[in-house]
Amino acid sequence: MANSMNITLKVWRQAGPDVKGGFETYQVPDANAHMSFLELLDVLNEQLIKEGNDPVEFDHDCREGICGSCGVVIDGVAHGPQKRTACCQLHMRHYRDGDTIVIEPWRAEGFPIIKDLVVDRSAFDRIIASGGYISANTGAAQDANSLPIAKADADLAMDYATCIGCGACVAACPNASASLFTAAKIAQLSLLPQGDPERKTRVKSMVDQMAEEGFGDCSNHAECEAVCPKGISISSISRMRREYVKAMTD
Amino acid sequence: MSTVLDSKIPAGPLKDKWDNYKNTIKLVNPANKRKHTVLVVGTGLAGGSAAATLAELGYNVKSFCIQDSPRRAHSIAAQGGINAAKNYPNDGDTVWRLFYDTIKGGDYRSREANVHRLAQVSNNIIDQCVAQGVPFAREYGGLLDNRSFGGAQVSRTFYARGQTGQQLLLGAYQAMSRQIGAGNIEMLSRREMLDLVVVDGKARGIITRNLVTGEYERHFGDAVLLCTGGYGNVYYLSTNAKNSNVTAAWRCHKRGAYFANPCYTQIHPTCIPVSGDYQSKLTLMSESLRNDGRVWVPKKQGDDRHPQDIPEEDRDYYLERRYPSFGNLVPRDVASRNAKMATDEGRGVGETGLAVYLDFADSIKRLGRDVIEARYGNLFEMYERITGENPYEVPMRIFPAVHYTMGGLWVDYELQSNVPGLFVLGEANFSDHGANRLGASALMQGLADGYFVIPYTLGNYIAGNSFSAITGNEEAFNEAESAADARIQKLLSIQGTKTVTEFHRELGQIIWDQVGMSRTASGLRTAIDQVSALREEFWQNVRVPGEPTTYNKNLEFAGRVADFLELGELMARDALEREESCGGHFREEHQSAEGEAMRKDEDFTHVSAWQHTESGHVLHKENLDFENVQLTTRSYK
Ligand SMILES: Cc1cc2nc3c(=O)[nH]c(=O)nc-3n(C[C@H](O)[C@H](O)[C@H](O)COP(=O)(O)OP(=O)(O)OC[C@H]3O[C@@H](n4cnc5c(N)ncnc54)[C@H](O)[C@@H]3O)c2cc1C
Ligand code: SF4
Ligand code: FES
């Protein structure tokens, strides 16, 4: 069949958090150009199970690029070669018969490895819990149209709000910084009038929490923006910095 | 013995019922709320909104989800939008119309009082979400924008690009996060609920498994809120996220909770067709696309010309032809069934012949490419990413896929199951959509349940009951934990020759063929036999790799497939029992000469609620009384 391809995979295997890991090489002879990248891993896993071996663990759920569960480094690039695409949405038509593909987990101090390609990203939840919200108890809201918001602001807020929390930005950053993720939320909420009352405390707590989790500082490499599956712009990071300076100086 | 169920609908005229209810319920003293622990299983729109709101009110909340973060619940994937009766466009919408459309869309198989309450609180949801900073689409004047959706003739759908579910879920997640930060919610991610614990006749706890370490945990409190989503993955291929499952609901069912209308499943008309046997899930293209896309197939069978080479006169815009007043915007079940009819006639398109066209050429000509791009840009991008084809130039190929399950655990007006203290919210319950759900109403229901209904009904339950002190060491906990462990050990010990996925695929094929878009008595009987044989084989021949004490996705999935293998049989039984066609349930024996569904109101205006017993399933009924709307034959002609 014209679409079929033989792929070699070098996959990071690590039995648990505190044990040494290493690469294993596998052959998938019946890959197909229409498959998604995760379907290729499914096929590999079925093969491994049939042979009596343990399958490769990887996180996934929606397989539509929206839940942020999936995420592996493919040939050195977080989420792989296709721009603005989470690896669950990457398709094998981007590869050729006979290719070798290297697959690794996110590597960052803030994301300890759980098993194989699965990492612990709960630090992201703690960053949001430190201030990434608008305090609005259920039931107290006024009519939704009582507060018009300029379309341009609403659209830009939406651009930042589309972050899926996958962690690719951290994996790609030479400093393992979580700035793009954190800044995306700060930028979204700073553009909306509802976010105004808490803007100062929000930026301070979130930035502090990010440091506490062991993520590094941002030194403008912009690798994060390049791999972000949602195309979150690093303009968010300048916004975060401005918000931070304002919060510290007032 | 079969009984008639009481839905506890409050007295009074329809429009006053919810207020009457709120005026007469018992309230929990604010100072006492902290003493009551509530277990909320699931962090989708239903569970996330419930957990946040209950914590704000002062309850002590524990939340659970399978994913590594509550933000990843399946609700995140909803694209199209959320309904509300705001009537901002001034096109004649009212609470009554939203109520009426939902009842009619559900083919008169839902409860009037619940649906009316849903329509009433719909407006509060939009207010709440905007206050949280949900960036809904806006017009140039800065006010909120609306679009129209299948099954309605007004524009009442609020949306955030093609990512409405994501933005609503992040709103709920952030409200939850605020309470987590404040210490009012304890969040337990990467946990799977494996059983419900009933003590002295009340739901008091759950057994969970830590999916990283394999440890079992006992959690207890005064009520359990099940917000664990739908069971569409029984079909293997569906638009649901891979972790979506029936396990939590099924275990509650086996502990006594009735399962209602399991055969009501929704097949969504606009999904990307299957491309091969490695296919792991299906991707939905939001049905908002039907606002501007035209559905067609070639008039002639086997016409394999390129779509652009097929002239107008050789195309059949079958929805516009058969349903001139709704056209491409007929409800989902009607659109799906018509696609199946077209492909069954050999007029399907694409390599497999299992697809129809959704064509934007006319809209692009009329409105310009930039308008279409602004409306659907990210959906078009997604389509191209998956298929490698550019839908601005070539019509999309679409085909129906399983999308939503209207059935679920039976609940009364208070969202309480027949097991006291077990409440069921969101897609996991059966309550509001009857035999067919209208677009943009699941998000509405999940958030209505969590933000605006459960805070009242749970309070009424807690204030009206006394709770014995428990420690988690009661016999009921011991028994439930050993049962959960025995199952896991059993799954690992079989070491057969077929993988979990192979069993799941086979099950899915049976259910799709026999309990899918169209059903017959003989097909359903076949399905019952096939599923029960497959289940037997599963427990003798499944191969589950790995250890119970480390992260092990295959082991998780094995448990879920085992439960689907039981549910699948009940779905077929329920479908067999329901000798009529209604909504998503189409029995070939019950159709008009033109192939339209025919209900049998005199025999089937009821909810079928199944009880699990040692000797098999027993059917109970809840009669549906329509006091405010007249049952008519749905017509979208
Ligand atoms: C692709 C797609 C698009 C959709 N688009 C729309 C739309 O535009 N408008 C609309 O109204 N509806 C839409 N729907 C339907 C809607 O998204 C869902 O019905 C709704 O989000 C379900 O929400 P929920 O809170 O009930 O459950 P879910 O969001 O499914 O959440 C289930 C939660 O339960 C947890 N859970 C499950 N089992 C267990 C267990 N055993 N132990 C612990 N935790 C467990 C999960 O981890 C998760 O947190 C769409 C559905 C799909 C599939
Ligand atoms: S900013 Fe982009 S890369 Fe980082 S978590 Fe969000 S979506 Fe992922
Ligand atoms: S699996 Fe959800 S983003 Fe990839």
The identity of residue B507, as a single letter, is L
- Report the residue from B69, B127, B163 with minimal CB separation from A121: B69
Q: Which residue of A has its CA nearest to B128?
A: A141
Q: What is the pLDDT along chain A (250 residues), one digit of tens a residue?
A: 468 999 999 999 999 999 999 999 999 999 999 999 999 999 999 999 999 999 999 999 999 999 999 999 999 999 999 999 999 999 999 999 999 999 999 999 999 999 999 999 999 999 999 999 999 999 989 999 999 999 999 999 999 999 999 999 999 999 999 999 999 999 999 999 999 999 999 999 999 999 999 999 999 999 999 999 999 999 999 999 999 999 998 7
What is the CATH topology of the domain spanning B475-606?
Methane Monooxygenase Hydroxylase; Chain G, domain 1 (1.20.58)
For residue B332, pLDDT beyond 90 = no
Phi–psi pair at A55, nearest 5 degrees: -70, 160
Question: Can B525 be counted among the known catalytic residues?
Answer: no
Class of domain A4-114: alpha beta
Q: Which residue, among B22, B67, B72, would best test binding to A if mutated, counting the most A CBs under 10 Å from its CB?
A: B72
Distance CA A115, CA A165 (A): 20
**Residue B43 alpha carbon, nearest atom of ligand 1:** 49
**Residue A168 alpha carbon, nearest atom of ligand 2:** 3
Return the H-helix or E-strand segment holding B206. strand B202-210
What is the CATH topology of the domain spanning A121-249?
Fumarate Reductase Iron-sulfur Protein; Chain B, domain 2 (1.10.1060)
Question: Closest Cα of chain B to A119: distance in Å?
Answer: 9
The answer to whether the CB of A62 is under 6 A from ligand 3 is yes
What is the sign of the dihedral through the CA atoms of A232, A234, A237 and A242? negative
Compute CA distances A242 → A86, A219, A248, whole Å.
Answer: 30, 15, 10
- Report the residue from B135, B144, B551 with minimal CB separation from A144: B144
Return the H-helix or E-strand segment holding B499. strand B498-499
Starting from the CA of residue A60, give the closest ligand.
Answer: 3
For residue B461, pLDDT beyond 90 = yes
For residue B218, pLDDT beyond 90 = yes
DSSP-assigned states of every residue in B532-572? HHHHHHHHHHEE--S-SSS--HHHHHHHHHHHHHHHHHHHH
Distance CA B254, CA A38 (A): 34
Q: Which residue of B has its CA nearest to A67?
A: B72
Higher pLDDT pick, B289 / A209: A209
Phi–psi pair at A245, nearest 5 degrees: -60, -45
Cα A183 off chain centre by: 14
When mean pLDDT is compared across A2-6, A168-172, B32-36, B450-454, the lowest value belongs to A2-6
In this prediction, residue B334 has a pLDDT band, given cuts at 50, 70 and 90, of: confident
Q: Which of B255, B332, B347, B375 is catalytic?
A: B332
Most informative mutation of B40, B53, B74, B382 for ligand 1 (most atoms within 8 A of CB): B74
**Which residues in chain A are contacts of B126 at CB distance < 8 A?**
144
Shortest-distance Cα residue to atom 14 of ligand 1: B78
- Report the residue from B52, B72, B160 with minimal CB separation from A68: B72
For residue B372, pLDDT beyond 70 = yes
For residue B162, pLDDT beyond 90 = no
pLDDT tens for B528-577 read: 999 999 999 999 999 999 999 999 999 999 999 999 999 999 999 999 99
Shortest-distance Cα residue to atom 8 of ligand 2: A166
Q: Which residue, among B66, B158, B553, would best test binding to A if mutated, counting the most A CBs under 10 Å from its CB?
A: B553
CB within 8 Å: B280 and A141: no
Residue pairs spanning A and B at CB distance below 8 A = 219
- Report the residue from A16, A49, A132 with minimal CB separation from B177: A132
For residue B160, pLDDT beyond 60 = yes
In this prediction, residue B149 has a pLDDT band, given cuts at 50, 70 and 90, of: confident
Q: Which residue, among B177, B351, B454, would best test binding to A if mutated, counting the most A CBs under 10 Å from its CB?
A: B177
pLDDT reported for residue A250: 74
B243 C-alpha to ligand 3 centroid (Å): 11
Q: What are the structural domain ranges in chain A? A: 4-114, 121-249
CB within 8 Å: A69 and B388: no
Starting from the CA of residue B287, give the closest ligand.
Answer: 1
Share of chain B above pLDDT 90, in %: 90
B346 C-alpha to ligand 1 centroid (Å): 35
pLDDT tens for B470-484 read: 999 999 999 999 999
The arithmetic mean of pLDDT across residues B376-397, rounded, is 92
A20 C-alpha to ligand 1 centroid (Å): 37
Of the candidates B164, B194, B188, B165, the one whose C-alpha atom is nearest the C-alpha of residue B176 is: B188
For residue B2, pLDDT beyond 70 = no
> What are the start-end ranges of the H helices in chain A?
37-50, 122-129, 151-161, 168-172, 179-190, 199-212, 223-227, 235-249
**Which residues in chain B are contacts of A115 at CB distance < 8 A?**
550-551
CB within 8 Å: B276 and A36: no
B534 C-alpha to ligand 1 centroid (Å): 28
In this prediction, residue B286 has a pLDDT band, given cuts at 50, 70 and 90, of: confident
DSSP state of B6: P
For residue B1, pLDDT beyond 70 = no
The arithmetic mean of pLDDT across residues B226-230, rounded, is 98
Instruction: Output the average pLDDT for chain B.
Output: 96
Range B268-401 classified under CATH 3.90.700.10: yes
The identity of residue B102, as a single letter, is T
Asked if residue B289 lies in contact with residue B358, where contact means CB atoms within 8 angstroms, the answer is yes
Q: pTM of the entire structure?
A: 0.97
Longest dimension (CA), chain A: 67
The answer to whether the CB of B66 is under 6 A from ligand 1 is yes
Q: What are the structural domain ranges in chain B? A: 268-401, 475-606
A166 C-alpha to ligand 3 centroid (Å): 8
Most informative mutation of A84, A164, A170 for ligand 2 (most atoms within 8 A of CB): A164
A70 C-alpha to ligand 3 centroid (Å): 5
For tokens 């209900």, the residue is B599
In this prediction, residue B151 has a pLDDT band, given cuts at 50, 70 and 90, of: low
- Report the residue from A39, A62, A189 with minimal CB separation from B133: A189
pLDDT reported for residue B188: 98
For residue B71, pLDDT beyond 70 = yes
Strand pairing category for B37-41 and B60-64: parallel
CA atoms within 13 A on the CB side of B100: 14
**Residue A89 alpha carbon, nearest atom of ligand 3:** 4
pLDDT tens for B87-138 read: 999 999 999 999 999 999 999 999 999 999 999 999 999 999 999 999 999 9
For residue B605, pLDDT beyond 90 = yes
pLDDT tens for B79-97 read: 889 999 999 999 999 999 9
**Residue A61 alpha carbon, nearest atom of ligand 3:** 1
